[in-house]
Amino acid sequence: MKNLLILALCFTIVKTQATETEKTIKTKPEKIIVYTQGAQVHRNTTLNLIAGQNTIIFSGLENCINAAAIQASGNGNFIIADIQHEVHYPELDKAKLNGDVRYRKLLKQVNDSLQEINYLIEDITSKSDALATEKNVLLNYNLYKGQSKKDSIAFLKDGLAYLREKLFNINAEQLKLKREREKLEVRKQNLNERLTSVSNELSNENTSGDEEKVDYRILVHVIADQPTTATINLNYYITNAGWIPSYDLRAISNEQNVKLTYKAQIHQESGIDWGNVKLVLSTANPNRSYNLPQLSPWYLGYNPYQQTNKDYKMQSPAALGAVTMDKAKKTDDYNSISQEQVAAQNAYDYTTVSENVIETEYEIKLNYNIPSDGKEHFAAIMVKDLKTLYRYKAIPKLNNNVYLTAVLPDWEDVITMSGEASVYYDGSYVGETSLAPGGTEDTIQLSLGIDKSIAIKRQKIKDKCSQKVLDNDILHQYTFEITMKNSRATKIDIEVEDQLPLSQDKTVLIDRKELSGAKYDEVTGILKWRSTVQAKDSKKLTLMYQIKAPKYMAVAAN
């Protein structure tokens, strides 16, 4: 009896030690570094280790972990032996523990019966196909279609009697098979319903009314020489996350610099909500290849390796004439207001920027909640004043509007990533533009709207327009006058654009007679004037040019 008690005690001790060597824990992310594609999740835990082998199971993790990018470290007297990624299905464990053998035997019987019925239905289908083929051969026999060479009445009667008898037998056999099939289909339906019922009963038996999700885990195997307290630091890369930059460009008046609000649109579908977590936004992309490039042979003439770089040109944010300053201003939409008042005015004050040669990191010292819904969630990074030059611009050949523009010469010093920017002027939404560092444009010109207090008009001076016939040509002369009037109480700087026609025909010559000091682009034919118009004053520009063309050629220049 004493030996039995000792044996039982030893068994209990061994069982207890085996249980203690494996610990399942749930942790909260301490920090998440969000890349433009993907994110690095950092978790840690402090626990007691026993002497020997220990397995720490980090449970309840994201569903998109890159198993090749898991790292573990720690503090304490222990050795990290191995790291594993595991997908755990709780319902399988419950089925092993709670599954009733009776249900499983019943499921096997039902499945066996269903398989036998399917075989019988297949046999009936084969017989039915054979009878249908036989019937088709009989009906297409030449005798009954009047194509037989033996066309005596007696022969025909015998043939029809044979046909009638065979068709009766075939139809009767087909009807019999049809009834058998219907009976089998009913039995099959009943068995399928029973199969569903038994499966549901087994599921209810195993889940006990609680639905459990698939558990994504990381197992850290450690070895300790003696019982100790350990801190395990775990970090891993997930794929279903990322962020893209977006910007707000806000001009309050034409006397203040444009304010740039730098925002991040963060998204994630990892299966785990990020609640009350610190975020670090990184401009790096772990999916990008950093392999050194190699030069390929360079052959003169056709070169299959040659690449061309196209210059990127910044586009105007909104169609000309989209906003009129004298009209009532449209207010920002609800989201823009909330972002400006809640995120843009507070969050960026808690952002620390660190830069190196390869990437920039923005550490936000506020905790964020980013649910796993795949939607964009905004976080403000910083606000900067951009050096701004305000100018008026007009193209009177197209319309008589004068547009206020903001020229940003040093924008690339602040913006490091491409993104869309919403433009606002005096609280009104003006439009959107694209910001793309590294292009050929060193300045951005934003159209902020129409100023009705400044008028411009382009008028053709008829008495200075003429046509003169030469030997084989006609000399056309055109004269235009551009009048600008400033009704404001302050002077303005204005840029006016026009153009001269271009010719690809050597017989057509264009002569610039009077440009009033305009800057002319030989390639595009664009004329630009930059003028200052004093307060309550007006100014005129003259454009005169001649076109010499053959008599047979129609010339339309305005």
* Assigned token pair, 297: 């042979």
Nearest to 204 by CA among 88, 103, 60: 103
Q: What is the pTM of this model?
A: 0.58
Q: How far apart are CA 366 and CA 481, in angstroms?
A: 60
Q: How far apart are CA 53 and CA 45, in angstroms?
A: 18
Number of CB atoms found within 10 A of residue 402's CB: 23
Nearest to 453 by CA among 397, 399, 403, 398: 403
pLDDT higher than 80, residue 6 = no
Q: How far apart are CA 219 and CA 283, in angstroms?
A: 30
Task: Report pLDDT digits (tens) over 256-294.
Answer: 888 888 889 999 999 999 989 999 999 888 877 666 777
Q: Which residues contact 460 (CB under 8 A, 6 or more apart)?
A: 478, 479, 480, 558
Q: Which residues contact 514 (CB under 8 A, 6 or more apart)?
A: 479, 542, 543, 544, 545
Q: How far apart are CA 289 and CA 284, in angstroms?
A: 11
Helix-, strand-, coil-residue percentages of the chain, each rounded to 5: 25, 40, 35
**What is the identity of the amino acid at 160?**
L
Number of CB atoms found within 10 A of residue 36's CB: 19
- Above pLDDT 90, what percent of the chain? 33
Mean pLDDT for the chain? 78
Task: Report pLDDT digits (tens) over 311-367.
Answer: 333 333 333 333 333 333 333 443 333 344 433 344 555 566 666 545 788 888 888
Q: With contact defined as beta carbons under 8 Å apart, do 37 and 203 qualify?
A: no
Reported as a pLDDT band with limits 50, 70 and 90, residue 255 is confident
**pLDDT of the residue at 40:** 95
**pLDDT of the residue at 269:** 93
**pLDDT of the residue at 177:** 85
Torsion of CA 222, 228, 229, 235, to 10 degrees: -10
**pLDDT of the residue at 480:** 95
Instruction: Tell me what the mean pLDDT of segment 90-118 comes to.
Output: 66
* Exposure of 90 in the CB half-sphere (CA atoms within 13 A): 13
Please give the full DSSP string across 283-338, using - where no structure is assigned: ---TTS--PPP-PPP--SS--TT----PPP-PPPSS-TTS-BTTSPPPPPPHHHHH
Q: Which residues contact 251 (CB under 8 A, 6 or more apart)?
A: 258, 259, 388, 406, 424, 425, 426, 446, 448
**pLDDT of the residue at 398:** 92
By the 10 Å C-beta count (0-12 exposed, 13-18 middle, 19+ buried), 73 is classed as exposed
pLDDT higher than 90, residue 533 = yes
**pLDDT of the residue at 367:** 87
Q: Which residue has the higher pLDDT, 193 or 344?
A: 193
